[in-house]
């Protein structure tokens, strides 16, 4: 080996040794896995919790939006009435009545556009109305659930339409309570949501898409009425009694035994309610009238009045009533008869005349009194007693006196409804 090669090898060895020394000095010390990691600061922990909660809220919001989207085939917009409706059965949409007179026709928004519908069930005392609609693709009635399968605090979801856009809100289920609605006691589903008019006709569902309740007006407030109660209200509207109220604003019932004694009649149908502006009111029927004959046949059963509500029937029916001992004949057009078009329609001149108030207003009703037991409330107007118009408060004091020994039939008015009560 020559001198040049020996020097080259020595130089390489010195350089390598230097690299090893420098690398050893610069190498970081080894860390044991048993050494504790630095503890996170409070700010880092707060930020982590905030990010976790936000992710959870975002996930829940996305989940509820997905559930609501799946319900839009069952909850529809009723744009002509500015409210929502539930596809109750094939060809039937259930909505709510928040106006004194529900229209005979409306429009329902469907995936293929707005379609016209006709009113099948309504009434002056019903908080709901049923609309007949031809089957439409994209609409389907929901399954109906029962609240007894829910636990207190469980999540539910409410869906309704507003300005042609679906709106929803999660709701906690708190149980049920009984409420008076449409003349019937039904179950109200209690949640943490304050229901409003714009939500009426919408539905409350469990998270499996089962319909629990329909939002509707009940007296002075809005309530989510359980599906079973809605079925009962709809059945009331479809009955003969409900059809008489819808077409005539008329409620009649067989005489009770005390009423037979008071009116001195062994049979007949007592006119219990007459609603202002309906056909019975326009024909002159009054609460306290006893229908004794229908088209010259003795009236013994309400089923005899089915021809009145048959919309295919035309013509005029003759009603013979006993009005506190006087026989009166009343002509009543069939439900299918065309209304009288003669004369100027109400409000055509921009004015609607309100008849002068009659009777006396009840300011207060004492608890456990004859009036309270009969169902008289503060704000009612007493119109007649035993068929005689009230002109003097002394008449009322005499009738309601606790020592009175004879029965009295009183006629009252409440929110457009005139009704009669027998005070025992």
CATH number at residue 288: 2.30.42.10
Mean per-residue pLDDT pooled into runs of 10, the chain (424 residues): 51 54 52 57 63 69 91 95 94 93 94 93 95 90 92 95 92 95 94 96 96 95 96 96 95 95 94 95 96 93 92 88 95 75 38 62 81 82 88 75 80 92 86
Q: In this structure, is residue 211 part of a structural domain?
A: yes
- Residue 33's pLDDT is 47
User: Among the three residues 238, 256, 277, which one is the final residue of a domain in this structure?
Assistant: 238
Q: Domain tally for the chain?
A: 3
Is 284 within the bounds of a domain?
Answer: yes
Q: What is the pLDDT of residue 51?
A: 59
Residue 163 CA to residue 79 CA, distance in Å, equals: 8
* Cα-based angle 89, 91, 97 (whole degrees, multiple of 5): 75
pTM (2 d.p.): 0.79
Do 68 and 167 belong together in one domain? yes
> Is 364 in the same domain as 310?
no
Tell whether 310 and 391 lie within a shared domain.
no
CATH number at residue 213: 2.40.10.120
Q: Which residue has the tokens 């080996």?
A: 1
Predicted pLDDT of residue 362: 84
**Cross-strand partners of 86:** 75, 94
Residue where a domain stops, chosen among 238, 260, 295? 238
Note whether 189 and 272 are same-domain residues: no
Considering the domain architecture, whether residues 154 and 201 belong to the same structural domain is answered as yes
In this structure, the answer to whether residues 316 and 292 fall within a common structural domain is: yes
Parent domain of 197: 52-238
> Please, which residues have CB within 8 angstroms of residue 220's CB and are 6 or more apart in sequence?
none
Domain co-membership, 264 together with 391: no
pLDDT (0 to 100) of residue 359:
80
């Amino acid at each position: 080996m020559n001198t040049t090669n020996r020097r080259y090898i020595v130089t390489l060895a010195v350089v390598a040794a230097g690299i090893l020394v420098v690398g050893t000095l610069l190498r970081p010390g080894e860390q044991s896995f048993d050494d504790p990691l630095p503890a996170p600061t409070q700010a880092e922990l707060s930020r982590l919790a905030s990010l976790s909660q936000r992710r959870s809220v975002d996930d829940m919001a996305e989940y509820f939006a997905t559930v609501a989207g799946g319900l839009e085939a069952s909850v529809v917009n009723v744009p002509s009435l500015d409210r929502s409706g539930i596809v109750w059965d094939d060809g039937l949409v259930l909505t709510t009545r928040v106006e004194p007179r529900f229209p005979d026709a409306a429009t329902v928004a469907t995936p293929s556009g707005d379609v016209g519908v006709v009113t099948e069930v309504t009434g002056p005392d019903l908080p709901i109305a049923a609309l007949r609609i031809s089957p439409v693709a994209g609409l389907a009635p929901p399954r109906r659930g029962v609240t007894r399968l829910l636990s207190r605090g469980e999540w539910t979801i409410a869906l309704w339409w507003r300005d042609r856009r679906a709106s929803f809100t999660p709701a906690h289920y708190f149980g049920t309570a009984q409420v008076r609605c449409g003349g019937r006691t039904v179950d109200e589903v209690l949640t943490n949501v304050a229901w409003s008019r714009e939500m009426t006709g919408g539905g409350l569902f469990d998270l499996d898409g089962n319909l629990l309740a329909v939002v509707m007006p009940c007296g002075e407030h809005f309530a989510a009425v359980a599906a079973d109660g809605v079925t009962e209200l709809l059945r009331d509207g479809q009955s003969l009694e409900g059809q008489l109220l819808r077409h005539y604003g008329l409620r009649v019932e067989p005489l009770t035994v005390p009423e037979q004694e008071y009116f001195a009649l062994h049979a007949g149908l007592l006119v219990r309610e007459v609603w202002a502006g309906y056909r019975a009111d326009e024909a002159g029927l009054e609460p306290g009238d006893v229908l004794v004959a229908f088209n010259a046949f003795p009236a013994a059963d309400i089923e005899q009045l089915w021809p009145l509500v048959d919309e295919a029937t035309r013509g005029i029916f003759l009603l013979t009533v006993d009005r506190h001992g006087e026989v009166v004949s009343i002509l009543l057009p069939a439900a299918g008869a065309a209304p009288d078009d003669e004369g100027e329609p109400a409000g055509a001149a921009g004015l609607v005349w309100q008849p002068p108030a009659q009777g006396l207003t009840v300011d207060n009703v004492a608890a456990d009194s004859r009036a309270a037991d009969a169902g008289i409330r503060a704000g009612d107007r007493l119109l007649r007693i035993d068929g005689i118009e009230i002109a003097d408060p002394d008449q009322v004091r005499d009738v309601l006196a606790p020592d009175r020994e004879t029965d009295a039939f009183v006629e009252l008015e409440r929110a457009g409804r005139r009704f009669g009560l027998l005070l025992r």
